[in-house]
Amino acid sequence: MFFETQGKNKAITFSYDDATVQDIRLIELLGKYGLKCTFNLNSELLSKPRILIRNGNRIAHYKIHSNDVKYVYEGHEIAVHTLTHPNLTTCEDKEIIRQVELDRQNLSELAGYEVVGMAYPCGGTNNDDRVADIIKNHTGIKYSRTITSTESFETQTNLFRFNPTCWHLDFNKMMSLGEEFINLKADTPKIFYIWGHSFEMDYQPDYWIKLEEFFKLISNKNDIFYGTNKDILL
């Protein structure tokens, strides 16, 4: 793993999906605390407006414009989230390859570098061994994140069904794990991997405040490497 070469056995990384305009505010906050993130984009949904209703509130789900992708995500990693966000477990083999590899090619062109990472789209059961094997053997993807939280910092061998530590809206658990991670004396590599969607921060007025509290807690530690998913997993 890359971060071991930095002389540190602990690493923290973030992964955010859907490329909504709230990513801009999130990136500003990440930059304030020297944190790195991987952003998973649907190339055929870029530039599109949408409104979600969550807990009775209207939530903006406007997508970053394709022309702005390179600029907005500069300094972070761009990764695949499929062309149009289908549940890949319901797709035929050829459609899985098309959704993933064409998204990867589109995003590579927008980013100006080869995109190799991915996060599975949709909630619930959004991945399985069949899908992972197809992606591994028929696309240029080198790792893919699930939404199954482990609440663990242990490394994993299956990069094509890589499970995160926790979801960012589980604030109490995330803060508790953050304290644990900071105090951890690691003799072997440990990873704290948080995932979510930036638009979820608009669900409640204090969510951005809570997220920044976590960023303050976890940042600027001499024994932690801060990197993108690619930095740490590959």
The dihedral through the CA atoms of 1, 24, 64, 122 has a sign that is positive
Instruction: Report pTM.
Output: 0.97
Give the pLDDT confidence score for residue 190 in this predicted structure.
97
- Do residues 74 and 36 lie in contact, with contact meaning Cβ atoms separated by under 8 Å? no
- Token couple for 123: 């909630």
Render pLDDT for 16-27 as a digit per residue (tens, 0 to 9): 999 999 999 999
Domain of 142, CATH number, reads: 3.20.20.370
Write the burial class of residue 65 (CB in 10 Å: 0-12 exposed, 13-18 middle, 19+ buried): middle
Give the pLDDT confidence score for residue 55 in this predicted structure.
86
Give the pLDDT confidence score for residue 166 in this predicted structure.
98
- Do residues 141 and 118 lie in contact, with contact meaning Cβ atoms separated by under 8 Å? yes
Confidence of residue 176 (pLDDT cuts 50, 70, 90): very high
Render pLDDT for 190-201 as a digit per residue (tens, 0 to 9): 999 999 999 999
Give the pLDDT confidence score for residue 2 in this predicted structure.
63
Render pLDDT for 89-144 as a digit per residue (tens, 0 to 9): 999 999 999 999 999 999 999 999 999 999 999 999 999 999 999 999 999 999 99
- The residues near 125 (Cβ < 8 Å, ≥ 6 apart) are 87, 89
Render pLDDT for 25-66 as a digit per residue (tens, 0 to 9): 999 999 999 999 999 999 999 999 999 999 899 999 999 999
Q: What DSSP designation does 60 have? A: E
How many domains are contained in the chain?
1
Residue the block writes with tokens 């589980």: 170
Q: Which domain range does residue 147 map to?
A: 2-233
